[in-house]
């Protein structure tokens, strides 16, 4: 029997098969007379070489590496409803799958075909961790039943896959996933969003670059209108990983040749036209009919033999599958390594399981020590490398901001009453403090009364400011403590309480302090700052203009004073005896008030920094230890019990590592085989 090369067009896969040196030339294996001895579409020696690759992938699938975000090379069968997906799979496997009106594939069906030498076929279903053996006659029923178990007995669909293993003499070694057919219109009893649900499943399977899309198209439809074509084009724009199978060639032979040659829909891996089993035909009969059809039909026989028939499809798929697996393995190996490294590093970062009180003590001291160090950085030194992007934690900057704002507000609050009813407040106070004595002595009590009034007006805002500052510091301290006791959740409530107690105490002290400062300002008018005299002198320079306007009634009562702006003074013409004293006292208080405000802000700033420093450097450690050992603290012993969340996390990580290690072994073995075959 002479072997003859059919002219299969050079596809992407053909050219890349060099990646998989174990492959024999697939083209040479398409036997001229293949369609006649139907029972063995694939030469079994070929299977032997692909088997280890497929086994490796199947094993990885069983190990659930997909859960680790590692994609496996997969042939995914997509198509519109009733395009013939199940029929194609049946033809490849030579078995009956559920068929019927509307939607019957409602969960992803992973079909694993394995050639075996035993003439008796073997079938089993794997789902949700279990395996059941089934007989050929019951495949359909069993699949339907398990589908009901997974996706409910109504028309719903599910992402949970079901695996059908077919071990049969002569089948190609292939693993494919059959997906629900795409439908726009929900049938009776289906959820309204069935289209979105099905699209989501299909997208999940075809999006990964590692997936080969087997697009099943019915010859009876216009390809560009197929939903499945639109979907695959969305994820595979170039079409390089899409292969088209055109079913029902027998039903619409007219123009089929043109359709596949025109390739309006960008199918990179080529077309294969088939005729599936019809009615009660056996699979043998169906293959004979198919071969006959493409051999003799006046139109269909014109299609190149490398593009027709189930055996051609089987070969193409096996070849593509081997190529994609070979291509993906190094990448999978790398991904497994990366995941392993990430898991190991997370595991190493997890806290040690503490077993004795000294160990617990040292862990506690370490947590406190590192928390205090972090607080020093953010609150005192302005080093933010631990929180580069979290502005809230850039405390030195935030504190300065808050202090500036407070100073500005204080400044503003006194500016408001500079010019309204100019000097009237001063006149009233002077009148009330007048005694029996010479008129040209300024009574000191008048000055103090005015000062007290001004201090009272602003006294609430420094208190509010300090209270806000401590609220802010509390959020920072708690955030830092929570971060450092992350691995010991049992510590969190004690440390949080300690921080809250401490801040509450500090806040109280600050408020006491600032109230004291304010009281001090009220009883004494003193400064050694020469700025006071300078300022007063400057302000008094306005006096000449003032006197001039007061003494000449015809002059405009609008004066622009240095340091005050435009002032209306007409009303003062009625207070000839007292207005000069009032003017003088106003200039004194204005000059002095600047000094008072500066002193207030300076004092608060120094007090605050001092207070924060002693909180961090002195009180924090003591307070946390006291709280932990106190009546509500639960003591050091509680550190010996691992938090359940940590136990669970460690178990998960260990399980993952085991899985990754097993996967790595699987991959290493096949890579070895590939290397040996390459030599």
Contact at 8 Å (CB) between 567 and 579? no
Q: Which is nearer to Mg ion, 47 or 74 (CB)?
A: 74
- In this structure, are residues 457 and 521 in contact, taking their beta carbons and an 8 Å threshold? no
Cβ contacts of residue 561 below 8 Å, gap of 6+?
Answer: 542, 545, 546, 567
Q: How far is the CB of 102 from ligand GDP (least distance, A)?
A: 9
The Cα angle at residue 104 between residues 98 and 105, in degrees rounded to 5: 90
- Give which of ligand GDP, Mg ion, none residue 242 binds (C-beta under 5 to 8 Å, depending on kind): none
Pick from 385, 522, 406: nearest CA to 453:
522
**Are the beta carbons of 311 and 174 closer than 8 angstroms?**
no
Q: For residues 100 and 358, which CB has a smaller minimum distance to ligand GDP in the complex?
A: 100
| Distance between CA atoms of residues 89 and 143, nearest Å | 14
> Given the complex with ligand GDP, which of 22 and 182 has the nearer CB atom?
182
Contact positions with ligand GDP (CB under 6 A) in 256-275? 275
Report, in Å, the least distance between residue 247 CB and ligand GDP: 4
Per-position x/- string for 208-247, each x denoting binding to ligand GDP as judged by CB under 6 A, each - no binding:
---------------------------------------x
| 82 vs 190, beta carbon nearer ligand GDP | 82
| Closest approach of Mg ion to the CB of residue 108, in Å | 12
CB of 64 to ligand GDP, least distance (A): 27
Residue from 11, 13, 147, 276 binding ligand GDP (CB under 6 A): 276
Contact between 85 and ligand GDP by CB under 6 A: the answer reads yes
If one asks whether residue 81 binds ligand GDP (CB under 6 A), the answer comes out as yes
Nearer to Mg ion, 216 or 378 (CB): 216
181 sits near ligand GDP (criterion: CB under 6 A): yes
Look at residue 273 and give its three-state secondary structure: strand
Exposure string of 462-485, with b = 16+ CB inside 10 Å and e = fewer, is beebbeebbeebbebbbbbbbebb
Question: Which range touches Mg ion (CB under 5 A), out of 85-93, 319-327, 626-634, 671-679?
Answer: 85-93
Closer by beta carbon to ligand GDP, 59 or else 155 = 155
Is there binding between residue 251 and ligand GDP (CB under 6 A)? yes
Q: Indicate the residue among 99 and 159 with the shorter CB distance to ligand GDP.
A: 99
Which of Mg ion, ligand GDP, none binds 678 (CB below 5-8 Å, type-dependent)?
A: none
Which of 538, 12, 6 is CA-nearest to residue 236?
A: 12
Q: 364-397 b/e with 16+ CB inside 10 Å = b? A: beebbeebbebbebbbeeeebeebeeeeebbbbe
Smallest gap, in angstroms, from Cβ of residue 148 to ligand GDP?
A: 18
Q: Are 135 and 95 in contact (CB under 8 A)?
A: no
* Sole binder of Mg ion in the list 13, 14, 47, 105 (CB under 5 A): 105
Closest separation in Å from C-beta 250 to ligand GDP? 5
Question: How many angstroms separate the Cα of 322 from the Cα of each of 74, 328, 480?
Answer: 11, 10, 54
CA triple 343-345-351, angle to 5 deg: 105
Q: Closest approach of Cβ 285 to ligand GDP, in Å?
A: 13
Taking the least distance from each CB to ligand GDP, the nearer of 300 and 604 is 300
Q: Beta-carbon neighbour count of residue 74 at 10 Å? A: 24
Q: How far apart are CA 567 and CA 322, in angstroms?
A: 94
Binding-site member from 74, 83, 86, 215 for Mg ion (CB under 5 A):
86
Question: Applying CB under 6 A, which residues contact ligand GDP?
Answer: 79, 81-87, 99, 181, 247-248, 250-251, 275-276, 278
Question: Applying CB under 5 A, which residues contact Mg ion?
Answer: 85-86, 105
């Amino acid at each position: 029997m002479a072997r003859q090369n059919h002219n299969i067009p050079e596809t992407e896969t053909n050219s890349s098969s060099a990646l998989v040196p174990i492959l024999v030339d697939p083209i040479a294996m398409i036997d001229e007379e293949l369609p006649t001895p139907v029972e063995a579409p694939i030469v079994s020696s070929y299977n032997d070489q692909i088997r280890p690759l497929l086994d490796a992938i199947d094993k990885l699938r069983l190990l659930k590496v997909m859960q680790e975000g590692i994609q496996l090379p997969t042939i995914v069968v997509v198509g519109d409803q009733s395009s013939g997906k199940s029929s194609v799979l049946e033809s490849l496997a030579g078995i009956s799958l559920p068929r019927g009106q509307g939607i019957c594939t409602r969960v992803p069906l992973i079909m694993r075909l394995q050639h075996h030498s035993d003439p008796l076929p073997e079938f089993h279903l794997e789902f949700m961790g279990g395996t059941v053996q089934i007989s050929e006659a019951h495949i359909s029923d069993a699949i339907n039943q398990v589908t009901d178990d997974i996706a409910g007995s109504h028309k719903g669909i599910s992402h949970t896959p079901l695996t059908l293993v077919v071990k049969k003499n002569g089948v190609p070694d292939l693993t494919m996933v059959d997906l629900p057919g795409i439908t726009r219109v929900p049938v009776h009893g289906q959820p309204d969003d069935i289209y979105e649900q099905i699209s989501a499943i299909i997208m999940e399977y075809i999006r990964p670059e590692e997936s080969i899309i087997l697009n099943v198209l019915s010859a009876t439809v216009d390809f560009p209108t197929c939903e499945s074509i639109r979907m695959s084009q969305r994820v595979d724009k170039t079409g390089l990983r899409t292969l088209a199978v055109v079913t029902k060639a027998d039903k619409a032979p007219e123009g089929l040749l043109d359709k596949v040659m025109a390739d309006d829909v960008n199918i990179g891996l080529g077309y294969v036209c088939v005729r599936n089993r019809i009615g009660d035909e056996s699979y043998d009969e169906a293959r004979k009919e198919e071969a006959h059809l493409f051999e003799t039909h006046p139109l269909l026989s014109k299609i190149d033999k490398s593009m027709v028939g189930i055996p051609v499809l089987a070969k193409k798929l096996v070849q593509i599958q081997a190529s994609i697996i070979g291509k993906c393995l190094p990448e999978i190996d790398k991904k497994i390594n990366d995941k392993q490294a990430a898991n190991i590093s997370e595991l190493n970062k997890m806290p040690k399981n503490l077993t004795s009180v000294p160990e617990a003590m040292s862990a506690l001291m370490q947590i406190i020590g590192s928390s205090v160090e972090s607080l020093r950085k953010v609150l005192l030194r302005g080093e933010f490398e631990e929180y580069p992007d979290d502005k809230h934690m850039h405390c030195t900057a935030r504190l300065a901001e808050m202090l500036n704002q407070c100073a500005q507000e204080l400044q503003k609050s006194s500016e408001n009453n500079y010019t309204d009813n100019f000097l009237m407040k001063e006149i009233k106070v002077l009148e009330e403090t007048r005694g029996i004595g010479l008129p040209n002595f300024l009574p000191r009590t008048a000055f103090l009364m005015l000062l007290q009034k001004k201090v009272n007006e602003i006294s609430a805002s420094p208190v509010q400011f300090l209270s806000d500052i401590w609220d802010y510091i509390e959020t920072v301290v708690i955030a830092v403590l929570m971060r450092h006791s992350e691995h010991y959740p049992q510590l969190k409530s004690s440390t949080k309480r300690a921080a809250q107690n401490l801040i509450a105490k500090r806040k109280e002290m600050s408020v006491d302090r600032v109230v004291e400062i304010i009281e001090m300002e009220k009883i004494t008018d003193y400064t050694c700052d020469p700025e006071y005299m300078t300022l007063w002198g400057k302000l008094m320079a306005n006096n000449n203009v003032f006197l001039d306007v007061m003494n000449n009634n015809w002059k405009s009562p609008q004066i622009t004073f240095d340091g005050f702006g435009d002032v209306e003074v007409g009303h003062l013409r009625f207070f000839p005896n007292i207005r000069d004293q009032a003017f003088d006292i106003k200039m004194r208080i204005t000059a002095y008030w600047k000094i008072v405000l500066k002193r207030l802000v300076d004092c608060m700033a120094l007090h605050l920094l001092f207070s924060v420093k002693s909180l961090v450097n002195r009180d924090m450690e003591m307070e946390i230890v006291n709280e932990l050992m106190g009546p509500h603290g639960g003591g050091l012993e509680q550190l010996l019990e691992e938090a359940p969340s940590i136990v669970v996390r460690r178990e998960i990580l260990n399980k993952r590592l085991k899985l990754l290690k097993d996967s790595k072994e699987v991959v290493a073995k096949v890579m070895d085989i590939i290397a040996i075959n390459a030599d």
